[in-house]
Amino acid sequence: MDSAEFRVKGKEMVDYICDYLDGLGSRRVTPNVEPGYLRRLLPGEAPQQPEEWDSIMRDVDDKIMPGVTHWQHPRFNAYFPSGNSFPSILGDMLSDAIGCIGFSWAASPACSELENIVMDWFGRAIGLPDEFLSSGKNSKGGGAIEASASDCILVSMLAARAQVIRYLKEDQPDVEDSVFLPKLVAYCSREAHSCVEKAAMICMVKLRVLDPDDKCSLRGATLRKAMEEDEAEGLVPFFVSCTLGSTGSCSFDNLVEVGPVCRSFPCVWMHVDGAYGGNAFICPELRPLMAGIHFADSFNTNPNKWLLVSFDCSCLWVRDRIRLTSALVVDPLYLQHDHSDEAIDYRHWGIQLSRRFRSLKLWFVIRRYGITGLQAYIRNHIRLAKAFEELVRKDDRFEVHNDVRLGLVCFRLKGTDRINQDLLASINGSGKLHMIPSLVRGKYIIRYCVVAEHASDADIDHAWEVIQKHATELLEPSVEKDVPVPVKAAPVIPTKPDPSQRRLSRRLSFTRSVSREVFKRSMSRSSLHDGATPIIVPDDEDNINSDLEEDVFSTSCTIEDDRLAIVEEKE
């Protein structure tokens, strides 16, 4: 493709994107295809000869789009938002065109410098203390854009691990670093995201998962007790990960209590994960939710979740950049340059060497919307979540299960977990709305998250209408059943059978099949269901226990090709 063809096809692509986004409302939210559908439609071998662009785009329409879950759909209310906006798309487009690999200042000065400036802009805009900004008075801190919140938490834990090993070696200089690993303990609440568990696995340290209070908030006394117990056993507390806006219920850990506990131990790094919730602090009235942030050593938030920036853009700030980079620095001759002493080399701030020009899209979004535009976006989502909460509370068949402070409402039908699983299965099966469940205080709840950029009162009303209708059908089986929306797909696509013609296994989600390993892992910590993990509802409503795995394997699932296929029982 030369630039003449690119001018034409690029403009067509912009039209295609606009038509796609403007027309989303007429599509099913989720695809209706079976695993392996695409392999049956595409050739097994890559083409030897170049193909016409139009023929590739025809396949996008006929074969790819039918298998897409439309995260930008106005009726997609699952997970947390997947940030997106036209300025962000254009930022990524330009970044792709520039195509620089900004591992050091010298590798592309503007790439490093813009990242540094925008991280300070954004940090200041969300009210972070000056110590976290590279331009802050007497500051040793600064920020970097990482690929994901998982990366932010992992690199923070790596820095904490390096710090505590240095501390322990002061008394035992001849001991090898790895000898300390079995003593190191990290802490988080049961509400923390599973990426904390993954970081601990990678760092080869113990993770102690603590019970939060009845508001799903980690409290200082709980943490202190656990850390003191571990210290008495000869272990070394070194890292605490707190959450502001948990995945399951958007709860907030109590940093005001946890901070002083961390400080009272000799060498503990306190990280604060605000992957979703942190973006809200762009609104000053929400900053009381981050009280205690000045105790933190590091903080992350993802504008690619809730600030209209497309994936990937996860912002990490640290109080002391040397403590971070000293854990990650490697400096071969071929990467050194004359300005290493005066300039930031972002390769020392994360795992990867090569880095995209990610700051462009964040810069475009901040400039195009302005802080006031971004505040208006966040406030609209919160207003709508509260409106949705009110609708739920007005219907006495339902109950709300979280403090609705941001854009997430956790609710359920009064009654058993099973009936709520059936309700969610029936709503999602209709293709009219997409939500995911989580466990809050041991109960299966349905998460309704306000997601679309221009979400409106009409979307909330429509969603509630769909939910009420399905609840009525479930609770009063004589009511006429909702007819599933026909799938908008080319006839060649093998689809799932009509959902109204089958009854789904109660024990596993209707939405996914899962590998045996994934299934086993998801049982390890019941609270870590973030929707990305399989949805599992115990047969016994009150207990998630180790018998479940046996039970599910033996009676509900068939194992094919090392994957669990969800059994669908014919009525």
Write out the residues near ligand PLP by the rule CB under 6 A: 80, 148-150, 193, 195, 243, 245-247, 273, 275-276, 302, 314, 530
CA separation for the pair 434, 463 (Å, rounded)? 10
Do 409 and 416 form a contact (C-beta atoms < 8 A)? no
Helix (H) or strand (E) holding 449: strand 443-449
Q: From CA 465, how far away is CA 395, in angstroms rounded?
A: 12
Neighbours of 418 (CB within 10 A): 15
CB 549 to ligand PLP: min, Å: 25
Peptide bond into 312 cis (omega under 30): yes
Rounded to a whole number of angstroms, the distance between the first and last alpha carbons of the chain is 54
The smaller minimum CB distance to ligand PLP, of residues 276 and 510, is found at 276
Quick check: 474 and 422 in contact, CB under 8 A? yes
Closest approach of ligand PLP to the CB of residue 83, in Å? 11
Rounded to a whole number of angstroms, the minimum distance from the CB of residue 378 to ligand PLP is: 16
Residue closer to ligand PLP (CB basis): 318 or 471: 318
Residues 6+ apart with CB under 8 A from 416: 541
The C-alpha angle with vertex 542 and arms to 188 and 535, in degrees rounded to 5, equals: 65
Rounded to 10°, the helix 457-475/359-394 angle is 50
Q: CA 401, CA 403: separation in Å to the nearest integer?
A: 7
| Nearer Cβ to ligand PLP (249/359) | 249
Helix, strand, coil abundance in the chain, percent, nearest 5:
45, 15, 40
Instruction: Name the maximum alpha-carbon separation found in the chain.
Output: 78
CA 282 distance to own-chain centroid? 19
Length of the chain equals 571
Nearer to ligand PLP (CB atom), residue 80 or residue 238: 80
- The nearest distance, CB 407 to ligand PLP, in angstroms, is 12
Residue 193 CB, nearest approach to ligand PLP (Å): 4
Cβ at position 396, least distance to ligand PLP in Å: 31
Q: Please, which residue, 197 or 273, has the CB nearer to ligand PLP?
A: 273
Local structure of 436: helix, strand or coil: strand
Question: At closest approach, how far in Å is the CB of 284 from ligand PLP?
Answer: 22
- Smallest gap from residue 13 Cβ to ligand PLP (A): 27
354 residue type, one letter: S
Nearest to 313 by CA among 516, 139, 87: 87
Q: How far is the CB of 198 from ligand PLP (least distance, A)?
A: 9
What is the residue whose two structure tokens read 């939210």? 29
For the chain, the C-alpha Rg in angstroms (whole number) is: 25
The nearest distance, CB 245 to ligand PLP, in angstroms, is: 6
> Could you tell me which of 407, 534, 521, 532 has the C-alpha nearest to residue 459?
407
Nearer residue to ligand PLP within complex by CB, 329 or 351: 351
> Is the CB of 37 or the CB of 317 nearer to ligand PLP?
317
Of 153 and 391, the one with the shorter C-beta distance to ligand PLP is: 153
